[in-house]
Amino acid sequence: MAKNSPPKGPAKPLKPGFGMQGSFKPTVGLPAGAASGRPTVSVPGGSLGGPGGFQPGAARGSAPSREDILRILQLGGAHLAAGRLDHAGSAAGAVLKVQPENPDALHLLGLVALGKGSPDKAEQLIAAAAARMPRHVNVWVNLGNAQRDQGKVEEALISYQRAEMMNPDYPDVFLERGQLYQQSAQFHEALENFRRLIELVPDKASSYMRAAAAATDAGLFRDALDFCRQAMNRLKPVPTQIKSILAATHERLGDLPEAIEWAEAALAETPGSARALRTWSKAQRRLKKGDKELLGALRARLESIDDGQISAPEARLLYSELAQICDEQKDAAAAFDYFTKMNDRTLQLPELKFVDRRKFIDEVDYLTGLLDEGFVSNWSYLPEIEREAGHAAPPVFLVGFPRSGTTLLDQTLDAHPDVQVFEEYPFLGRVKKTIEGYPEKLSSMSEKEREAARQVYWSELRKEGAQFENKVIVDKMPLSLVHTGLIHRLFPEAKFIFAIRHPADCVLSCFMQDFVPNASMQNFLTLEGSAKLYDRVFTLWQKYRECLPLRIQEVRYENLVADLRAEVEPVLTFLGLDWDDAVGDPAAHALTRGTIRTPSYSQVTQPIYSSATERWRRYEEQMKPVLPILKPHAERMGYSL
């Protein structure tokens, strides 16, 4: 029995059924009720869920009494807590007809707008409520939520700070602000808030689950285990969700026997949990790679689940694992069908309801239309920079299309004692937000403005522990290639490592990958969307290469897995480094590093394999509709279709 493993007991049969919900998110727009577990909206003088109904005590036509107003607000709050947004909105509207400036009704109507995906309208209404009852802590938290949902990070932080000043022990401040930091990839700040949430609400599993989720997002998997152990010590009985998180975290770390034990402990309590079942199956596949009998048994077990009886998030996890099993069995038709089902369920996730997949596409298209030799030739003069003072080397950007081998390459380079790779942190995105008028601003940028932006970038890296003085710093964010013009303008000394893989393999692999969904990754939910995004991104990249004097070293995935040293040694030379034997074993380094945040974590912790090369040919029938889109790019890079 491994340390901190679940207690042994009689084996229980694993039966299909309902699984746990995996998001742990509060009702939209409401503080998550960290203390009670239920969302609330404060109404002066009353509590939610009380007797309701707009029934004036006086004769018909007379003004409603204070008690009447309170009842309808209570009723509206109860509707809101139950998710009946239209009813809640009607209640708020009824009050505002007779009291147009009633702050509770304005607050309630703002929460309705937030729940319906209109955070801008919600902000206006809740701000009006806050102006009329400025000492109401709950209103300031909700104002912060409305601002957060619009991407107004600084404004939201100010609102949360106002709430904290009113009540330093109000749990929802730390819950909501922690989520803001987590969403904006400021993981250390998120963890600080969730630790405080645990102090304030130590008897709720959700506090530990949120902290563990933030630690996982940060790649701090050992910290995630620690949060689960704290929950185990304080909560009796240990919630099934904690056991599922322990299983998933051990699987991420490659502690496969422990992962299987914890998954079985969770499944003994919740037999139909797709989350625990996927971890259980995946850990066994990794432990007995290529075992045909095992694959058949796992497939039969997962296919026995009644997918009509589980939620879309749970079904998504189930289909993801079934697709991987079928792919390993070389059953391309079944695998493709399950990948399609996985992506269809992803589209049903509540968090994607208001995500605009075209936002990223439109940005790429705009940059492509803007960029030409005429635009670049009109850039204001800025002096060349060879190296930032106090830095051992110029910055390096590892870019490429997702699933082109960037994770394997980043583990390989990070194994070198003189290299420090930062894995998919939105450093450049934070810099971009500080440049008013981007991308047109690139044309007129002054030296002072460039220096200010550079310092923002260095500061963000420094927060994450960058060792500028004695390391080559590599910023690995594949789709940063979309902003190559910004990188070159700010860092003319920068070097680019460009990862290449067969376009058909790239696109198929993106379609097959269970990405954390966001505006850009949402384009991978269909094969056509993946191919069209690839076409757009590489059309823009080609224009950058034609218009800008970039310093680029290409790395071809197929060569990397065939002869790692032959492909990587020129990269090290490009970076001014000598070969080091540690570079030759990226799997060992990945296991030691233990902080792989990308979906490729299970691939790069095993010996290099070439089975993913030319995988698309097994799916050629399914790929036929998109091959014409990819053909020009394949030919340019020397691949055949």
Q: How far apart are CA 461 and CA 483, in angstroms?
A: 18
Domain with residues 358-636, CATH architecture: 3-Layer(aba) Sandwich (3.40)
User: Between these two residues, 52 and 575, which has the higher pLDDT value?
Assistant: 575
Q: What is the pLDDT of residue 190?
A: 94
Q: What is the pLDDT of residue 90?
A: 95
Q: How confident is the model at residue 41 (pLDDT cuts 50, 70, 90)?
A: very low
Please determine, for residue 607, whether its predicted confidence score (pLDDT) is greater than 80: no
Q: What is the pLDDT of residue 218?
A: 85
Q: What is the pLDDT of residues 477-501, one digit of tens each?
A: 999 999 999 999 999 999 999 999 9
Rounded to the nearest 10 degrees, what angle do helices 240-253 and 256-269 cross at? 160
Q: What is the pLDDT of residue 56?
A: 36
By DSSP bridging, strand 495-500 and strand 552-556 are parallel
Please determine, for residue 1, whether its predicted confidence score (pLDDT) is greater than 50: no
Q: What is the pLDDT of residue 352?
A: 74
Residue ranges per structural domain of the chain: 12-56+63-184, 358-636
Q: What is the pLDDT of residue 599?
A: 52
Q: How confident is the model at residue 13 (pLDDT cuts 50, 70, 90)?
A: very low
Give the global pTM: 0.81
Class (C level, CATH) for 12-56+63-184:
mainly alpha
Q: Which residues of 105-117 are buried (b: 16+ CB within 10 A; e: fewer)?
A: bbbbbbbbbbbbe
Q: How confident is the model at residue 46 (pLDDT cuts 50, 70, 90)?
A: very low
Q: How confident is the model at residue 306 (pLDDT cuts 50, 70, 90)?
A: confident
In sequence order, what DSSP letters do the residues of 24-75 get, joined into one string?
-PPSTTS---TTTSS-----TT--TTSS-----SS-TTSPPPHHHHHHHHHH
* Percentage of residues in the chain having pLDDT higher than 90: 72
Please determine, for residue 348, whether its predicted confidence score (pLDDT) is greater than 90: no
* Percentage of residues in the chain having pLDDT higher than 70: 86
What integer best gives the mean pLDDT of the chain? 86
Please determine, for residue 219, whether its predicted confidence score (pLDDT) is greater than 70: yes
User: Between these two residues, 39 and 508, which has the higher pLDDT value?
Assistant: 508
Burial class of residue 488 in the structure, from the number of CB atoms within 10 Å of its CB (0-12 exposed, 13-18 middle, 19+ buried): buried
CA angle, 343 as apex, 145 and 329 as ends, to 5°?
A: 140
| Token pair belonging to 232 | 């185990």
Q: What is the pLDDT of residues 106-132, one digit of tens each?
A: 999 999 999 998 999 999 999 999 999
